[in-house]
Structure formats: C-alpha cells, structure tokens
Chain A
Amino acid sequence: MVYAVSGIAADSEARHMDNTVRSASDEPTFNGDLLVDEVEDKAEYGFDDGVVEAGDGDLEDVGYELPAATRGGEAAQDVPDLTGLSDVALASFDVARSESVIGADERVRISPASSYPWRVHSALRITARDGSQWIGTAFFISPRVLVTAGHVVFLRSSNTARHGWARSIDVMPGRDGNSLPYGSVRSTRFYSVKGWTQSGDDEYDYGVIVLDTPLGNRTGWLGFGAYSDGTLTSTTGNLSGYPGDLGSGTQQWYMGRRIKSVSARKVFYDIDTAGGQSGSAVYRISNGHRHAVGIHAYGVGSSPFNSATRINRPVFDNLVAWKAAHP
C-alpha cells in the first residue's frame, strides 16, 4: 500500500490516488519567481496556544453530531459589534444568505478560533489588480505556505484591469470578529497552475499564498493527502472558513458531513458554505490526524452539491513542491 501525506504524521490507511495523469494544465505558474522543485519538508511545527485534539470520531468536537446536527452548538456565540473595526475589517459588504446553504443552515460558529485546528484557517482580504476587494479563506500547510482556491490568488475577469494575479492578500489566521490572535500579514507571492491561470478550468482551481514570515510555526498546519475514491466517499468532510453571509468574513464557521461523491479532480458534498469560504480546506480526521483532501471552490451548479478541487496526485505533488520551496 502506498500512501502520500504531508505535514502531520502519516495516516497508515491513507492511499494516494495513482490514476490521475499529470497534464500540461498541472504545470505550476507563479506571479514572480520561478518554482524551485524540492523534496517535501519535514519541519516540526509548534504551538503557542491551546490545541484541540482530534477525538475518536471523524468530526470536530463542537457540540455537533451527524446526521441531524443543528446550528448553535456550544461554540456558537452572538455576532459581535463590528463598529470600529480596524482597516482589515470586512464589514462594509451588504450580505445575504448564499445559494450554497443546502437545506437548513447547519454551520456552527467557532469562537474563539485561536486554538488548533481553528487557527490554521485564515480569513483573507484579497485586493485585485484593479483595487477591488474580496473575501476568501486559506489554510496553512507549512510555516510559510497556505493553500487556497485558484480564483483567490488569480482572479479571472473579462475586465482586463481586474484579470490576473491579486495585487495583495491580507492573511488573518484564526480571526474572530475584532480579534486577530495572530495578527494580519500581507502577501504578494502566489502560485497556481496553468489549468487555472491560462485556461480557467474549474478542475484546476487551486493555488497557494506564500508568507515572508513563518507565521505557521505559531498556528500549526493541516496535513494533506491524495486518497482513493473509496476512502474519500467513506470519509466525513470537515470544512471551516470565513463566509461573507455570516459575520462579513470576520467569523469562522464550521460544518462537517459525509462526502457525497468524487470525480478525478473534484470532491462533492452537502456541507453548507457561502461566498467567502473559497479556499477552505475540506479535511478528514483519521486516527487523530487531520488531512486536507480538497480545496473548497464552488457552490451548487450543474451538480446539486458544493464542490472542492480534489487533492489528487498532481495537486499533491505541486503542494509538496511549493511547501518545500518555501521552508
């Protein structure tokens, strides 16, 4: 049995999917320097705040059970007063409920979000080439590298002033309303793949954000793996991110539910999401370890489910390379 994991210790049951052929669309692209292709980094990670250990189950313990989970578990709190937020606040958007809440909204607010694993998930403020601003989410996979959706780092638009790499992205790990427990850092270094930046193919919609400083040494990070179809469809997907419809991108909301189906390059689920949660990890918990299996990107469309870009073998290899290139 072959397995492929990164970051947190390897899961002996994890298998990489070896039936996805790498194509030209999998070739990395960058908004500046050349990619340095190196072997996987094995750096330790450390914590300066609490750690929520994964239990025996495959859901995060937030007072929440499958299948009849209800909103408002023990982590839920009132929406804070957003008056007087700093300039990293994103409270100016007039928001409403998204199409990608499937049935009743079962998302649970994570507050505070300064303990592991919640602090690996980062609220993003994205500034596009034309200065327009957007909300997204990303998650750490190493001290300096966060994974997100391709359309977070490279916005495709018919408007040539907007189309292209983001001008900058502000990364706010574990943000909880006004609280920025790990501060806010700005990145201008991004990677994606040609399948997204050149072709706009939603099956290649992923990328990474590279930080100048090793902030991930304070937050920790998720592992990631490429798994078989059978493993994924018997897995509970966990997803936590920063939606625009709840807290205007300043609050972290979580939900977990069994993955519905997979294709070679996508993972489908009825976990509730909304705009702003693009780039969130879809991760599994197994033997107490957390490994991302997909990168949330799209709401309901031709499929009746929300979807993530699957971490298949080519995606895995690129993530390993990007992580190794930025120790």
Chain B
Amino acid sequence: MLTVVQALDASDDCEVTVRGYVIATGGATFIAEMLAETYPPQPGGAQLEVDGLDVGDLESTEQAGDTTWTPEQREVSGRIRGGVLEVD
C-alpha cells in the first residue's frame, strides 16, 4: 500500500493500492493526502487524479454542493497510467 506521495512517484503502468481521502469535486475525482478544511472540503496536499471510480458507490461518504468525499482515508487499487490512477 502506498501513500499518495509514494503513488505519485510510482512508475507508469504499475498496479498500486493507494491510501488517502477520496474526493470528487468540480467534475474530477482525486485521492488526496489530506482535506483542506473549507466546507465542503477541497483536496489537500499531494493528490492523484482517479479515473473509473464513482465516489458515490463508496460507503460512508459525505456530500455538499458538487463535492462528495470520504471523511476517513480509504484504500483504492488500480493502475497508474499517465499520472492518473485508473480503477477497473
């Protein structure tokens, strides 16, 4: 399992499991090192864009405006391609 910082350094096309906050906002989804504490929150610190993951399908998410996020860190598995974490 990698931190978001470690995942950003991972080589392309490798399978990874990344731990962080999952947050969908402004039309894109990220896994982030931390949450910036506006309400709703913003992705904070190191962050990796995630493709193919519907945050609404995750358990115990919160939502406000167009932002949906996990209030606790989660593990997301996928493949790094072009700096994006692709989830099957």
Number of A-B contacts (CB under 8 A): 117
Could you tell me if A99 and B21 are in contact, using CB atoms closer than 8 angstroms?
Answer: yes
Chain A nearest CB: distance from B23 CB in Å? 11
Contact of B36 among A158, A159, A205 (CB under 8 A): A205
Is A162 a contact of B26 with CB atoms below 8 Å? yes
Q: Shortest distance in angstroms between B50's beta carbon and chain A's nearest beta carbon?
A: 12
Taking a contact as CB atoms under 8 Å apart, the answer to whether B39 and A151 are in contact is no
* B33 near A297: Cβ-Cβ < 8 Å: no
Main secondary structure of the interface of A (DSSP, over half): loop
Residues of chain B contacted by A205 (CB below 8 angstroms): 36
List residues of chain B with CB within 8 A of the CB of A135.
38-39
Q: Which of A109-135 contact B (CB under 8 A)?
A: 126, 130, 132-135
> Is B80's beta carbon under 8 Å from chain A?
no
Partner of A300, one of B34, B42, B49: B34
Is A151 in contact with B38, judged by CB distance below 8 angstroms? Answer: yes
A97 at the interface (CB under 8 A from B): yes
A240 within 8 Å of B (CB atoms): no
Most A CB contacts (10 A, CB to CB) among B3, B34, B37 go to B37
A135 and B42 CA atoms in complex are apart in Å by 11
Interface contact A244-B64, CB-CB below 8 Å: yes
Within 8 A of B (CB), among A69-90: none
CA A296 to CA B36, docked complex, whole Å: 9
Residue contact B37 to A275, C-beta cutoff 8 Å: yes
Whether the Cβ atoms of A202 and B45 lie closer than 8 Å is yes
Q: Please determine whether B38 and A301 come into contact, CB atoms closer than 8 angstroms.
A: no
Q: Please state if B5 and A95 are interface contacts (CB–CB under 8 Å).
A: no
Interchain CB contact under 8 A, B65 and A93? yes
Q: Is the CB of B39 within 8 A of A134?
A: yes
Residues of B within 8 A of A298 (CB): 34-37, 44-45
In A284-323, the 8 Å CB interface with B consists of 296-302, 306-307
B64 touches A278 (CB 8 A): no
Chain B interface residue count: which class? 20 to 34
Residues from chain A with a CB closer than 8 A to the CB of B39 are: 93, 95, 134-136, 243-245, 249, 274-276
The B contact surface, by secondary structure, is strand
State the CA gap A95–B63 with chains docked (Å): 7
Measured between beta carbons, the chain A residues less than 8 angstroms from B66 are 132
Closest to A249 in B: B39
Q: Which residues of A from 125 to 174 have beta carbons under 8 Å from B?
A: 126, 130, 132-136, 149, 151-152, 155-159, 161-162
Compute how far the CA of A72 lies from the CA of B17 in the bound complex, rounded to whole angstroms: 41
A-contact 0/1 string along B12-47, CB 8 Å cutoff:
000000001100011110101111111111101100
- Is the CB–CB distance between A97 and B34 below 8 Å? no
* Given known A-B contacts A298-B45, A301-B44, A133 and B71 have beta carbons under 8 A apart: no
Verify if B54 is at the interface (C-beta below 8 Å from A): no
In the complex, per-residue mask of A242-278: 1 if CB is within 8 Å of any chain B CB, else 0: 0111000100000000000000000000000111111
Contact of A276 among B21, B34, B38 (CB under 8 A): B38
Q: Is B72 an interface residue (CB 8 A)?
A: yes
Tell whether, in the assembled complex, residue B45 and residue A278 are in contact, meaning their CB atoms are under 8 Å apart: no
* Residue of A96, A277, A297, A306 touching B71 (CB-CB under 8 A): A96
Chain A residues near B (Cβ < 8 Å)? 93-100, 126, 130, 132-136, 149, 151-152, 155-159, 161-162, 202, 205, 243-245, 249, 273-278, 296-302, 306-307
* Contacts A/B (CB < 8 Å), 19 sampled: A93-B39, A98-B71, A99-B35, A100-B35, A100-B37, A135-B38, A157-B42, A158-B28, A159-B25, A244-B64, A275-B37, A277-B37, A278-B36, A278-B38, A297-B36, A297-B44, A298-B35, A298-B44, A299-B34
